[in-house]
Amino acid sequence: MQLEIQPRKILKIICTDSAGLLAKLTNIFYNHQLNIVNNREFVDHTTSLFFMRTELEGVCDNQIFLKDLDTILPKGSQRELHFLKRYKIVILVSQESHCLGDLLIQSTYGELDVDIAAVIGSHEKLRNLAESFDIPFVFLSPKGCTRLDQDNNIASSIDVYQPDYIVLAKYMRILTPEFVYRYPNKIINIHHSCLPAFIGARPYHQAYERGVKMIGATAHYVNHKLDAGPIIMQDMMHIDHSYVVADMIRAGRDIEKNVLSRALHLVLTQRVFIHGNRTILL
């Protein structure tokens, strides 16, 4: 007899912490014949908020399951039910290839469970790279356009593909608030320093002038403030006085592509909770 494949689902909860809450939740899982495959939780004692990510296995009526959860969750709680799947992204680029190339390789060879629907570029330089992986490349020149017109053109192209997320893989243009508001918590950027240090342009030149002893990268959600969205992932490496700007850029590119792919993996596996301008990773 062939066993039925049980679909995996991810339950994410943010609510006020209270005694016995976990017991009530697990009782509902049991009543719906759901098996807990993995569970992680965190209590922020400064706000008394409870965060939980639970991976569940089993077949149930999802709407009834969520309604039953609502009967025991405190008022104002947030709960989301996601399903493990291969998500779709659109990548925005300018002229630097390292982050795009890494994502193309990881997607193609199964190291990152994501489909790249299209690459949109403000320059033509990376067309051959994208098309060598059979990914459509859309060139949208910013010349002769206002920032708002350019972003509207980009949004029109993005919406053709209906992606789950938009990834800025070294897209070196500032997005308008109108564009950002259109895709809340759906835009992920890689920034070439450990924010909040060295925001904006030429961060390695800024770092060199300051004589820093470490360089890093930050993957974050994009909001209406420049390089100020919730941080998903950061990493760094130590350097010394012998590093010139070119050395720092070369080393920084390796950190950037690694941080971006790790952050994207966290987002795609529903491990990121956004709370205000912070993230909790479970």
Catalytic residue ranges: 227
Structure-block tokens of residue 235: 């990493």
Closest among 230, 151, 235, 225 to 194, alpha carbons compared:
235
Close Cβ partners of 76 (under 8 Å, ≥ 6 residues apart): 15, 16
Tell me the CA distances in angstroms from 49 to 16, 74, 270, one per residue in order. Answer: 5, 11, 19
Which residues fall within 8 angstroms of residue 157, CB to CB, at 6 or more apart?
A: 118, 120, 138, 140
Among residues 8, 29, 139, the alpha carbon closest in space to that of 85 is found at 8
Sign of CA dihedral 225, 230, 235, 239: positive
- CA 108 to chain CA centroid, Å, is 19
